[in-house]
Amino acid sequence: MSDLNTLTISDARDKLRTKEITAAELTESCLSAIEGADALGAFVHNTPELAREQAKAADTRLAEGDAPAMCGIPLGIKDLFCTKGVPSQAASGILKGFIPEYESTVSQNLFNAGAVMLGKLNMDEFAMGSSNETSVYGNAVNPWRRGNEEAALTPGGSSGGSASAVSADLCLGATGTDTGGSIRQPAAFVGITGIKPTYGRCSRWGIVAFASSLDQAGPMTKTVRDSAIMLEAMCGHDPKDSTSAELAVPNFEAMLTGDIKGKKIGIPKEYRMDGMPTEIEKLWTDGAEMLRAAGAEIVDISLPHTKYALPAYYVIAPAEASSNLARYDGVRYGHRAQLAQGDGITEMYEKTRAEGFGPEVQRRVMIGTYVLSAGFYDAYYNRARRVRALIKKDFDDVFAAGVDAILTPATPSAAFGLGEMKDADPVQMYLNDVFTVTVNLAGLPGISVPAGLDKQGLPLGLQLIGRPWEEGDLLNTAYVLEEAAGFVAKPTKWW
């Protein structure tokens, strides 16, 4: 078999366990796929030697019959995760040359389960962006194109490299992180599945921090089943993250029964936006019908504060970012500016940060600094945190009324062209997260499932939002939607 890289995680696991294939063969197949895919800009630091070493160790474990589900599965790791001995720079110039002396808990959990790392994946700088265009490495490119056009499209962001790599079969799965939609929006743009678990499910230790009260890691995979398998390996309590939940991790895959009879699925009226493309409107209606046909009850619900989620997010996330990114000062790691004669420590900070941070990161750090500054803290930051409490209450009320999950579109459009938003106001780019950002503010699990193609042949996704800590139930509903939608399209290889 020459195209092992196109396998799903679950199929590869089964073939590895029956010795039909080896982890070494599987890894080689992915490494060759990566070699021919420079045009996608997905992998930014390749680790073939480490991958071969890990694959060999996985084959030994498999031979000994000690094979967790992820054993021998080749993955890409988002550049936001610190990986020991491997460059980890959050796609920022300010962390150029940074080589961690430690491993993030999530990547360590995956390695403990036998997973293989093929390399680090492109992303928006510090995960700030929705198109992967703020990366110091250059753009990641969507494997999908509009019809026969050659225009390069965005794979979404911030986990754009992860999305591109999984969609193009360069790896079997990838890690992503999601602060406002950075797993779910790119997953939707490239026709794959991505889940952001409940806040606290995955340890944030060793993941470069953007907005600590919103950041969560999650898997990006080819199928819902794969997300269930990979999420289980990623999460779990970690004493090194004080917000990590002390809860047992269920066997998510075993919860994919395909039975959602009697489940109540809410359709929030506030997500029906002016100017929403009719195709997305139709996809949403069709998705609801599919769940109804599977025995779920579809109910109209209201989440009245939805409209205020994005503005609240653009206070809270930059505020937290301005604090988190204060550590990049040219002293302990990464870039330090060349200083002129007589420059003191303040000049060193200011020059280092001006050179090291890209424009979007600078913008958000400064907005965050402003909303936290004396005289504005109450008017902006505290008000946004109050609104956040109301947004969470909207969800609490709906769940208390018996709703099991909420169905919405994943994104307001299909993938757009790279460069298309170049002259747009930053706020226009922020609107990409309009359907996903509420979920981060409320700390809920959310999953994006590919559900159809638009008239130009680009994938579109639907989002399901679940109750806190009930990822298993959410994955099961997503599994039913996936089966019913029957999305099997793949991009035509041009790279």
Partner 1 sequence: MSIDRDTAARVAKLARIRVEENDLPALAQEFNNILGFIEQLNEVDVEGVEPMTSVTPQRLKRRKDEVTDGGYQDKVLSNAPDAREGFFAVPKVVE
Residue whose CB is less far from partner 1, 376 or 495: 376
Tokens linked to 106 = 């999530």
Residue whose CB is less far from partner 1, 81 or 199: 199
Residue whose CB is less far from partner 1, 320 or 404: 320
H or E stretch at 194: strand 193-196
State in angstroms the smallest separation of the CB of 130 from partner 1: 15
Residue whose CB is less far from partner 1, 64 or 274: 274
Cα–Cα distance, 441 to 187 (Å, whole number)? 20
Residue whose CB is less far from partner 1, 11 or 270: 270
Cα–Cα distance, 495 to 144 (Å, whole number)? 10
Contacting residues toward partner 1, per CB under 8 A: 97-99, 101, 199-200, 213, 239, 242-243, 245, 305, 307-308, 310-312, 314-315, 322, 326, 329-336, 339, 343-351, 353-354, 357, 362-363, 365-367, 369-371, 373, 380, 382-390, 392, 425-427, 430, 441-443, 468
Closest CA to 107 of 98, 117, 99, 93: 117
Give the β-pairing of 216-221 and 193-196: antiparallel
Tokens linked to 437 = 């950002």
Residue whose CB is less far from partner 1, 10 or 440: 440
Asked if residues 303 and 270 have their Cβ atoms less than 8 Å apart, the reply is yes
One DSSP character per residue, 382-447 reads IHHHHHHHHHHHHHHHHHHTT--EEEEES-SSS--BTTTTTTS-HHHHHGGGTTTHHHHHHT--EE
Residue whose CB is less far from partner 1, 102 or 494: 102
Helix, strand, or coil here: 235? coil
H or E stretch at 78: strand 74-78
Dihedral angle, C-alpha 452, 453, 454, 458, nearest 10 °: 140
Distance spanning both ends of the chain, measured CA to CA:
21
State in angstroms the smallest separation of the CB of 217 from partner 1: 16
State in angstroms the smallest separation of the CB of 336 from partner 1: 4
The vertex-26 CA angle with 21 and 31, nearest 5°, equals 160
State in angstroms the smallest separation of the CB of 311 from partner 1: 5
State in angstroms the smallest separation of the CB of 99 from partner 1: 7
Asked if residues 176 and 183 have their Cβ atoms less than 8 Å apart, the reply is yes
Sheet with 264-268: strands ordered across: 43-46, 116-121, 74-78, 173-178, 216-221, 193-196, 446-453, 459-466, 405-409, 264-268, 297-301
State in angstroms the smallest separation of the CB of 323 from partner 1: 11
Beta bridge partners of 462: 409, 449
State in angstroms the smallest separation of the CB of 263 from partner 1: 24
Residue whose CB is less far from partner 1, 17 or 45: 45
Q: Which residues are catalytic?
A: 78, 158, 182
Tokens linked to 359 = 């424009």
State in angstroms the smallest separation of the CB of 385 from partner 1: 3
Closest CA to 139 of 149, 120, 151, 153: 153
